Amino acid sequence: MTKRVPLFINNKLVESDASQAIPVTNPATGEVLSEAPFTTSQEMEKAIADARTAFQTWKNVPVPERSRLMLRYQALLKEHHDELAEILSQETGKVFDDARGDVWRGIEVVEQAANIASQLMGESVENVAPNIDTVSYIQPLGVCAGITPFNFPAMIPLWMFPMAVACGNTFILKPSEQDPHTPIRLAELFREAGAPEGLLQVVHGGKEQVDTLLNHDDIKAVSFVGSVNVGQHVYRTATNNLKRAQCFAGAKNHMVVMPDASKEQVVNNIVGASVGAAGQRCMAISVVILVGEAREWLPDIKEALAAVRPGAWNDTDAAFGPLISPQARERVLSLIQQAKEEGAECLLDGSVCTVDGLPNGNWVGPTLFSGVTPDMTIYKEEVFGPVLCCMEIDNLDEALELVNNSPYGNGTSIFTDSGAVARRYRHEVEVGQVGINVPIPVPLPFFSFTGWKGSFYGDQHAYGKQAVRFYTETKTVTSRWFEGASTKASGPNMTINLK
C-alpha cells in the first residue's frame, strides 16, 4: 500500500482521514513516492481552530523571543541543508545544485525574519500639539495562509510563514500536492526549533482546500504563488471576502542584449537563466532580445545550449532535471509544435529527448527558436520549460517598446557596457525587478520581491519590509497627561485614584 504524506496539525504529524488522494511521483523515474491526501473539511477546521487558539498566546510573546525562534530555526535548516535538498530533488527532479539553491534562498529569508525586532519598530512624535504625543505600534493580524507552487517547495514556503510568524501571526500552509514532502520536513524542523503548538499547520489538497482558506472568516491574509488563472481566482476570492492578498502569478521575462556587451558573459548567462531548473521558475529568461550587431551571436547561443543536457538529480554533469509531470511535458511539447506551425524557426529542438536509464522521466531538452514575433503563442504564453525565444531588433527604443507592451512585469535584464543605456533601461522599463548584467535579478530578502503588472495582484510584496507591512496592522495612539490633576477610574464597586 502506498504511504500517505501526513498533515502537520498542532505540532503533530497526522494521518488524514481523507478518502481522496493524489499520487506524488518522482519526475525522473515515474515512480510513485507517496500519496497526498485531500484534507477533509473537519481537518481543515481543526487546523484553523488550533491556529486561532495559538494566536491568542503567540501575539503576546516578546519580540526577542520570536527572533530567537527564527535563529534556532535557521541553524537547523543549515544543519539539514543537504538532507532537505535531497528530499526536494526526489520529488521535483531538480539537480542537486538547484535543489541546494532552493533551500538556501529560503534560509536567507529566515535569517531576515530573525531580525524582526527592528522591523516592528513604530514611530513617535512628541508635541504634535501642546502637551500631546503620538506613537504608533505594529501589531499582528491573526491567522494567515499561504498557497505555494511545485517549483520551489522549500524557498517559497520559507518566503511566507517565517515572516508571518515572526510578526506575531500563526500560519496555515497549503503546499503543492505535487511535492509535499519538503514542506512537511520544514514543519518538522520548525517544531524541533521550539515552535509552540499551532504556530504552523500544513494541509494538503486542491481547489476545495484552497477555497476553504479563502472563504474562512478566521483567515486574515493570504499569500499565493502560482499560475495566472489560479492567482486571479485567489486574489478575487480573498479580496471579495475582505482579506488581504498578495498573489504572484505569471511571467514572461526578457533579456535585452546590447552589441557592446561581453559576448562570453551574455552566452554563459543565457544558458543558466533559460534552461536552469528546466525553465520551471517565474524568473526564468524565456525571451532574449538581440539588439543590432548582437544578433550575430545567435550561433554562439545555439552552440552553448546544445552543449547542456538534462539528467537525474545526482548526475553532476546534468544541467537540469525533468519537468514536474507528464502533463507539464505535454504542454511544453504542444507549445513547441505550435511555434513551428506559426512560423518560428526551431534552431534547436528538445522535443525528442531521452536520458539513459530513465525512460519514464518527463524529459525535454534545450530548445531554441529564432524569428519569434509578439503575436506567436510561444511568445504570449509562459512556457515553463527549457525553451528560449530569440528576437532581433535594431535599437533600445524598440526593446523598451517590446518589453513594456508585455502584460507581465516580473523580471527583466539588460547586458551592456554603457552606463547611460543601463540607466535609461532601468528607469523606463515597466518591470518590477531589473538586472543590469545580472540575468535573474531576484532580490535578497532585506529587499522585497516586486513583480508588476499581470505578474502580481495585491499591494504589498513578499519578504523584506513589504512583508512586514502585509502581515501587520498599525495602531496609532495619541495621548495627553494633565499635571497635578487627580484622575478617577470608576467601575462596578470600585474607585481608583491615580496620583
| Residues in contact with 230: Cβ distance below 8 Å, sequence separation at least 6, in sequence order | 224, 249
DSSP 179: S
Over residues 89-101, the mean pLDDT reads 97
Res. 182: pLDDT tops 90: yes
Q: What's the pLDDT at 205?
A: 97
What CA dihedral angle connects 212, 217, 221 and 227, to 10 degrees?
30
Q: How many beta carbons lie within 10 A of that of residue 466, not counting itself?
A: 19
Res. 485: pLDDT tops 90: no
Indicate the residue type of 350.
G
Contact yes or no for 65/235 (Cβ under 8 A) = no
Strand, coil or helix: what is 349? Answer: coil
pLDDT band at 486 (very low <50, low <70, confident <90, very high): low
pLDDT band at 494 (very low <50, low <70, confident <90, very high): very low
Q: What's the pLDDT at 499?
A: 37
pLDDT band at 488 (very low <50, low <70, confident <90, very high): low
Q: What's the pLDDT at 1?
A: 72
Extract the C-alpha cell encoding 223: 499569500
Q: What's the pLDDT at 6?
A: 98
pLDDT tens across 252-311, in order?
A: 999 999 999 999 999 999 999 999 999 999 999 999 999 999 999 999 999 999 999 999
pLDDT band at 455 (very low <50, low <70, confident <90, very high): very high
DSSP of 226-242:
S-HHHHHHHHHHHHHTT
Q: Which residues carry out catalysis?
A: 282
What CA dihedral angle connects 143, 144, 148 and 153, to 10 degrees?
-70
Res. 497: pLDDT tops 50: no
pLDDT tens across 154-167, in order?
A: 999 999 999 999 99
Over residues 46-60, the mean pLDDT reads 98
